[in-house]
Amino acid sequence: MIKGSGARILIAGAGSGCGKTTVTCGLLSALKQRAVNTTAFKCGPDYIDPMFHSEVLGTKSRNLDVFLCGENTVKYLLDRDSDGSELSVIEGVMGIYDGAGFQDDTGSANHIARLTSTPELLVLNVRGKGLSLAAEAAGYLNFTENNIGGLILNNCSEAMYGIYKEMLKEKLGIDCYGFMPHIEEGEIGSRHLGLITADEIYNLKEKMARLGIAAESSLDIDGILALAAGASTLEYEKPELHITSGAKVRIAIARDKAFCFYYEDSLELLGEYGAELVPFSPLEDKGLPEDVRGVILGGGYPEVHAGRLSANKAMLDSVRKAADGGMPIYAECGGFMYLGKSIDDGENIYPMAGVVDSRFKLTNNLVRFGYKTLTANTENILCHKGDKIKCHEFHYSDTDEYGDCFTAVNSRGRRWKTTVASDNILAGYPHIHLWSRPEAAGNFVDKCRKFAEGAGEPWK
């Protein structure tokens, strides 16, 4: 049993859109200005909010997901990734009690707070509310066991903050730890496909700095630091990794505006198994990096950049040639779309790599959204037949060929086949956190290493 310690706070919310990300980024920016060495985390599978955290801090933000990784691994990653920092700030997901299903709070921000003995601050949007704000707060405070130590009021003016604070203390006995006013200059925006990613926003650094200035003047940061210091000791077992010795192997990883959805802990896990990840851009580069023996194509927004991706025929040819030559290629969601025959955005049909026989069409609604457990129906470059691994899906597109390498089961017991596989290709919609099944990372690296040791030629 390992015992870890460290100050930490979880910023939870009443629901999506209540201001969690605004408050979290403002707090992170203010802490950076105070020179507090801070590590940021995001509850759940979301890729985008950690990008904003990373933009503010200049260091990588991580995901904590109980469904994908399990309780012990979440505690381990929180402690390991916080090592050396003075404070960990964890942003919640959706509403404080929203998790993998509708019967309990498993996988929610509150679950993670209870699991890790982390104090919670609940963000409430006060717009259009008076006494009803107290009723709303009472519901969250009394619904079930929680670690809520105080409230933060969003979209609140300085003039009204004192009135709300006094009312909430009198009615509920709960303290407020400040407020965030409406800051038009700090708005992030969104698209129908989801939130805009950090590198798409003009003058983002200025926006984050503006939030930090507001947070410094309107949040009780000293009080938040004191609350965070009361976090209890973490207790967990260090996960065992069965790593065999072997040479480092260079694996190309797509990283640009079209392909940017990765879990940092997954990438580091690949490194522990011997991968040297070499970034490349399917948008800008004319071919895969030299001397690579595998390819990872993560998710992102290839549909937004479909025209440029399709026009970069040299890169498409390079990826196709690598696939035909037996190089291991793992593709998730957007990467799956890139390997397919084409992407139809409703106005144009853009040819893609054609490595897998799947055609994609954008939709106006989420398709097969949510958490799932995958069971491998066949041997593949990640799993052995019968292996189980957790995943998450979030996509506004559909395909005429999902593949049948895995059987997916969601929280309601619905099941279907998914993911295209061959001897060297694994491509599908599921996003997998490799800490769900660490040996999957080792399996992929081993496949790339065997390709390098066997018939695989250096890629140029």
Which residue is catalytic, options 333, 383, 405, 448?
333
- pLDDT score at 196: 57
Report how far residue 339's alpha carbon sits from residue 323's, in angstroms, rounded to the nearest whole number. 10
- pLDDT score at 412: 87
The type of residue at 459 is W
**Is 383 in the active site?**
no
What is the rounded average pLDDT of the residues 34-63? 93
Q: Is residue 337 within 8 Å of 360, Cβ to Cβ?
A: yes
In tens, the pLDDT along 342-390 reads 999 999 999 999 999 999 999 998 888 899 999 999 999 999 999 999 9
- pLDDT score at 191: 38
Find, among 188, 185, 105, the residue nearest to 147 by Cα. 105
In tens, the pLDDT along 88-113 reads 999 999 999 999 888 899 999 999 99
- pLDDT score at 206: 84
Domains annotated for the chain, with CATH where assigned, are 2-236 (3.40.50.300), 249-453 (3.40.50.880)
pLDDT band (50, 70, 90) for residue 251: very high
- How many Cα neighbours within 13 Å face the side chain of 428? 27
- CA dihedral over 48, 411, 89, 60, signed as positive or negative: negative
Mean of pLDDT over the chain: 93
DSSP helix/strand/coil, 35: coil
pTM of the predicted protein model: 0.93
Q: Is residue 335 within 8 Å of 323, Cβ to Cβ?
A: no
Quick one: what percent of the chain has pLDDT higher than 90? 83
183 or 116, greater pLDDT: 116
402: tokens are 């999902």
- pLDDT score at 161: 97
Quick one: what percent of the chain has pLDDT higher than 70? 95
- pLDDT score at 381: 98
Start-to-end CA span in the chain (Å): 48
Report how far residue 251's alpha carbon sits from residue 329's, in angstroms, rounded to the nearest whole number. 9
Q: For residue 82, what is the enclosing H or E element? A: helix 71-82
DSSP helix/strand/coil, 279: strand
